[in-house]
Structure 1
Amino acid sequence: MDWYHSVFELIDMRSFSNLWFWIALAVVWSTASHWVLGVPWDMVMRARREGGQYEADLEDLIRIYTNRILHIWRVSGLWILGFACFFLTLLGGLGFFYDFEFGQAVFLLLFPMTIVGGLALFTASRIQTRQESGEDLYRRLHLQRVLTQVIGMISIFVTALTGMFHNLSVGVFG
């Protein structure tokens, strides 16, 4: 048995029938909804509940992360956007036009995350321009988290439908 066969047997490029893909999908969306603008959600809840130093720490972290996100966007945002569009177009074309299952799976994993990234950029911009703090900041972070979770639920649903369709069509016609 050669190394190429061993590696591809371990990785299994048939993504929708691979348990590791579904575990990765769950981990990605769980992580995305837990970390709001780089800050863990339990820290937001603790700051809201207890205030004081926890609230000051949260506002400092939000200021640091929003400055970081907006700086990266100002310095290289168009390059990142261009590469992301190229890569997603490549994956979408390979996946859906040429029926490459791995391309479909990665596209269905990354495309919604780019929407969440754009939403995070918008939220960071709003927080910085309005200098939000206290209850306004909590509301903004809560909205960011809820929208991320809604995007995640829709993404998981569409990915599951695509995966079931692909597995059923491969099982019947393959």
Structure 2
Amino acid sequence: MTLTQILSQFFDLRSFSSLWYWLSLAAIWSMAAHWGLGVPYDQVRRAGRRGGAVAEDLHELVRLNVARILWLVGGHEVALTALGSFMLSSLVVIGFGFGIEFFQAVALILVPLSVVGALSLVRARQIAALIAAGRSSPDEVIRQLRRHRLYVRLIGTLALLVTGFWGMLQNIEMSVLN
């Protein structure tokens, strides 16, 4: 076996049979669950345990990140939703309608991540409303971030299950055809 053959087997471009796809998928969902609203979850846990200045620092970090998220969106929700819907529906149609595995794999990553993105925007608006009303405390922010992480983990778990089953079916189909 030549070096070229070894490398081409190692870097298989068929998505669902590629180790790199599954490692990337795991890393993406791990990071999505860890970095809720731009705040690392270990900092949320530490603030929940220690309280005091650590919780106040977390509260300020969340306030800054929420302001940044809302500034980035900047009232363009309709345009972003339309563009995102077009891109995601194109991926789904090309992938599943035409049976192209690479687009299926990308769609199975980006569709659930778009749900997480929408959830993050909703959570950012909720926290911003609490801050504007003066009802935002470090304990409330910690509670909001914990709830957000739970929802992201549930979405990620469901996405991993669906992707795993779909990938398994694709690999079985390829092995039967060959």
- Do the structures match in fold with TM over 0.5? yes
- SS of aligned partner of 1:119: helix
Shift of 1:71: 1.5
The answer (yes or no) to whether the contact 1:32–1:148 under 8 Å persists in 2 is yes
Asked if the contact 2:47/2:58 (under 8 Å) is kept, the reply is yes
Cα distance, 1:39 vs structure 2: 0.3
Aligned with residue 138 of structure 2, among 134, 145, 150:
134
> What corresponds to 1:4 in structure 2?
none
Would the aligned equivalents of 1:47 and 1:54 in 2 still touch at CA under 8 Å? Answer: yes
Unaligned runs of 5+ in 1: 1-6
Q: Is 2:46 the partner of 1:42? A: no
- Confirm whether residue 93 of structure 1 aligns to residue 97 of structure 2: no
Q: How far apart in 2 are the matches of 1:152 and 1:120?
A: 14
The residue type paired with residue 154 of structure 1 is: L
1:3 counterpart residue number: none
CA displacement, residues 54-105 of structure 1 (integer Å, 9 cap, x when unaligned): 1121111100111111122224333332221121111101110000000000
Match of 1:163 in 2: 167
How far did residue 11 of structure 1 move?
4.9
Partner of residue 71, structure 1: 71
Distance 1:73 1:8 in 2: 41
User: Percent identity of the aligned residues?
Assistant: 38
> Which of 144, 148, 163 is matched with 2:152 structurally?
148
Q: Alpha-carbon deviation of 1:9?
A: 6.8
Aligned-CA RMSD value: 2.0
Which deviates more, 148-157 or 55-64? 55-64
**1:34 & 1:113 partners in 2: Cα distance?**
14
Cα distance in 1 between the residues matched to 2:19 and 2:87: 25
- Matched-pair contact (CA < 8 Å) for 1:13–1:101: no
User: 2:86 & 2:23 partners in 1: Cα distance?
Assistant: 26
| 1:13, distance to aligned residue in structure 2 (A) | 2.7
Distance 1:121 1:104 in 2: 26
Shift of 1:47: 1.1
Instruction: Give the whole-Å Cα distance in 2 for the aligned partners of 1:74 and 1:58.
Output: 24
Alignment of 1:53-64 (within 5 A): 53-64=53-64
Structure 2 gaps of 5+ residues are: 1-6
The Cα of 1:117 is off from its aligned counterpart by: 0.5
Supply the AA of the counterpart residue of 1:126.
Q
Q: CA deviation at 1:137?
A: 1.4
> TM-score with structure 2 length normalisation?
0.88
TM (norm. structure 1) is 0.90
The answer as to whether partners of 2:37 and 2:120 remain within 8 angstroms in 1 is: yes
Shift of 1:49: 1.1
